[in-house]
Structure 1
């Protein structure tokens, strides 16, 4: 007789409903000190110096880093890139993506916690709140207080700092696409152009809204990284975790109490780890996709442990295997795979950038006439030659043509001087005795070579047309 699978009737139970979207509860973050906060401050200081300082560096009489869209030239110190080099940007973005994957497999969301612009600017805006409205309890009390001159003054000061930081951020960003020195002067004298004004306003508003009002909502609902990070995590990934075996059962107690005899763990249930969290989660509930790995809860908990004379590390960077008492494997196939792919792509990128030609040559046939017969009986073809000097110094080139030793090249000048990052376009004539024609359509190659350095050269293929020789 076949046994029946037991079935439980769940249709008669209570039906629970859930809101698909909950109204945001404002998060008031508490101040704290600690190792990881200091690391973040050092990192943020370096990134701020890099972001705000690089735009003001001059290099050979121009801005060192400038994406000159009208001229279709992208200057990065001594290198100048053209639209045809745009594939390098895609290459670089792929490298950054694999770098992010590698870091995530190894140490979780440290990018989010320490270097993500959303996180960095949010911390800056939180600092502005603290210096204008006071610490956490004072801010909560101020929000609940009725409207008064003190409240208006403090709120106005906070939003003034927010807008100031947002404006400086926007001006710097736009300054990478239009010379920042002129942009700042034009802004201060109210002579800024329409498009520049639009983009400065746009990025000011975006920074003000994202870092001032949306904050953790960007990380939780708008950033896709929070959603797909779980596919890169494994039990050996370094994550911020609460040691439940050591901390539970939780409970308050006096500092000198024998909490072990009372059956309590090391967690005193002070909720400081929740109060310092910028996304408002309780890390004691386990790993959550909202966690950005900033380690604020680690620093705050260590402060409490020090005050209680307990060992640090109740909340710490660790792995699931470590929490379970198992060995953590640092070198594992997924990490090695991402690392190998990253190393290969970085190597290829360096080689590609290092081998970029300092001059490019483009040759087009004059389409108005296929060929013509000139005095002396030679066949002549006309071409439009474009020489682009990609270097940052003026260069003089020679132009030659290959394909047959009897080809005659006529150019306006023997020495072709081209300004830095400039294009020289000129018509040239190529002649050949019809007796040397190899059919009606023979391949030829134009070559341009720098007179001061034979290694700087470029070639372009074309065709030489002529009549049928009988």
Structure 2
């Protein structure tokens, strides 16, 4: 988005009485601006932390990640509520067991989130990065700890340049111990989603866990510690592929944090006892840059480093309040609104296409969950031979039925046949007990009188259900073969 100044100011910037800041307050603002420089990776970026509505919203959305730590400890029917048991090829989610046969559901779940990311970018830019991204959230937590121990962003810069002494060592040691503790907790919590959380903790503490467990926890511990503690915004600039493709996913109607250069330019520092309309509303205090976690200047337009966290909006609104100017110099707006004074079109072909795709994903997933059975049945007809003629003239076909039990209990199974009048079923074994989360094969012999035949290949349906619970039946269509009539 262009940020070129305009010589002529709008009617909203006509001469008005200006509320003059306190001299010390002005000095502090400009001192912070002088301290600030955009980081290109050669030094640590220390962003200023300010309150505001978007900062509060960021805290709220960040709390979504608490599920990472809480999830493995939740219980459901004497089992870990959420367990992704990859070695056993089973996913357990609040009493439902998903097997490899249910992989289509996870494909649609991943597709749903991929399209959701695309539509959110088209509508509101990198809103995921600003409020939900793992890297952004953990970096924010790490810098919050850093601020509590080392002081404001200015104090932290000064501490970095200060010589090593007892105070500096104490602060740095405490900070890194806390960082490592969070990293270890993060690594363990991630691993606990894939095995029994309590058992894993016990085995890791007495050093009997599998080396792979230690490797996974160690890798995520190191990754969290390095990425959130040291690389920070450099991950957004150089490692994240999303930053590279966001430009083609946005358009002139995407609503992102934007600087209203028509109102703000020409900018200039606010001077004591000054009034008039020779300057725009931007007083060049630099607070929008100081609070940016990636160090970009939003006044230069949308940039690769902008994660649309809107913290610059909070900072600018507070300055506008102090100098008695209306809020919104920096606000969520589109290129069409800022540059062309056109109304933003939220409903447009791209957004409609994404929304329709999401609706289809959600509908299909909801249908799959509602119609999902605890049993799944597959039937294989024996083709060598297709049928056997009995001595009394009856026809016999052989099948192998494969029953998949998606519950965590052993189920006694009953088998029923539909579509062939007078047919008799013989099971091998005679009593079927479907073990949980595995395939139970059963040989089935179906015998029918020749008089029951209407065609050479007769359509039939097998049904299996837990004993005494026919409403939970799973069915599969097959054929019954006989001689030519």
Unaligned runs of 5+ residues in structure 2 are 1-39
| TM-score normalised over the length of structure 2 | 0.82
Task: Point out the more displaced range, 141-150 or 427-436.
Answer: 427-436
CA change 1:229–1:437 in 2 (3 A) is same
- Residue 37 of structure 2 aligns with which residue? none
| Root mean square deviation of aligned Cα | 3.0
Match status 1:186 vs 2:203 = yes
Alignment of 1:7-46 (within 5 A): 23-45=41-63
Q: Deviations over 1:252-296 (max 9, x none)?
A: 2235421x35x2222221212112111111111111122100011
Q: CA deviation at 1:392?
A: 5.2
Q: CA deviation at 1:376?
A: 7.3
Task: Point out the more displaced range, 390-399 or 340-349.
Answer: 390-399
Higher relative contact order (CA 8 A, sep 6+): 2
Equivalent residue for 1:229, pick from 246, 252, 257: 246
Unaligned runs of 5+ residues in structure 1 are 1-21
For these two proteins, the number of residue pairs brought into alignment is: 445
Task: Point out the more displaced range, 373-382 or 343-352.
Answer: 373-382
Distance 1:216 1:103 in 2: 21
Alignment of 1:57-206 (within 5 A): 57-206=74-223
Task: Point out the more displaced range, 218-227 or 107-116.
Answer: 218-227
* Contact 2:289–2:295, Cα closer than 8 Å, also in 1: yes
Task: Point out the more displaced range, 25-34 or 386-395.
Answer: 386-395
* Contact 2:429–2:442, Cα closer than 8 Å, also in 1: no
* Contact 1:434–1:469, Cα closer than 8 Å, also in 2: no
* Contact 1:249–1:264, Cα closer than 8 Å, also in 2: yes
State the SS of the aligned residue for 1:74. Answer: strand
Distance 1:443 1:111 in 2: 52
Match status 1:386 vs 2:402 = yes
State the SS of the aligned residue for 1:410. Answer: strand
Q: CA deviation at 1:130?
A: 1.2
* Contact 2:421–2:452, Cα closer than 8 Å, also in 1: no
State the SS of the aligned residue for 1:55. Answer: helix
* Contact 2:91–2:97, Cα closer than 8 Å, also in 1: yes
- Residue 17 of structure 1 aligns with which residue? none
Distance 1:149 1:108 in 2: 45
CA change 1:183–1:86 in 2 (3 A) is same
- Residue 10 of structure 1 aligns with which residue? none
Q: CA deviation at 1:412?
A: 4.9
Distance 1:439 1:179 in 2: 55
| TM-score normalised over the length of structure 1 | 0.84
Distance 1:437 1:336 in 2: 54
Q: Deviations over 1:311-349 (max 9, x none)?
A: 222211112222232222333332233223222321122
* Contact 1:437–1:469, Cα closer than 8 Å, also in 2: no
CA change 1:442–1:127 in 2 (3 A) is same
- Residue 21 of structure 2 aligns with which residue? none
- Residue 471 of structure 2 aligns with which residue? 455
Distance 1:212 1:80 in 2: 38
Distance 1:236 1:465 in 2: 64
Task: Point out the more displaced range, 370-379 or 149-158.
Answer: 370-379
Distance 2:386 2:42 in 1: 72
Distance 1:440 1:244 in 2: 81
- Residue 283 of structure 1 aligns with which residue? 298
Q: CA deviation at 1:445?
A: 4.7
Q: Deviations over 1:339-384 (max 9, x none)?
A: 2322232112211221223211234467999888889787766544
- Residue 310 of structure 2 aligns with which residue? 295
State the SS of the aligned residue for 1:269. Answer: coil
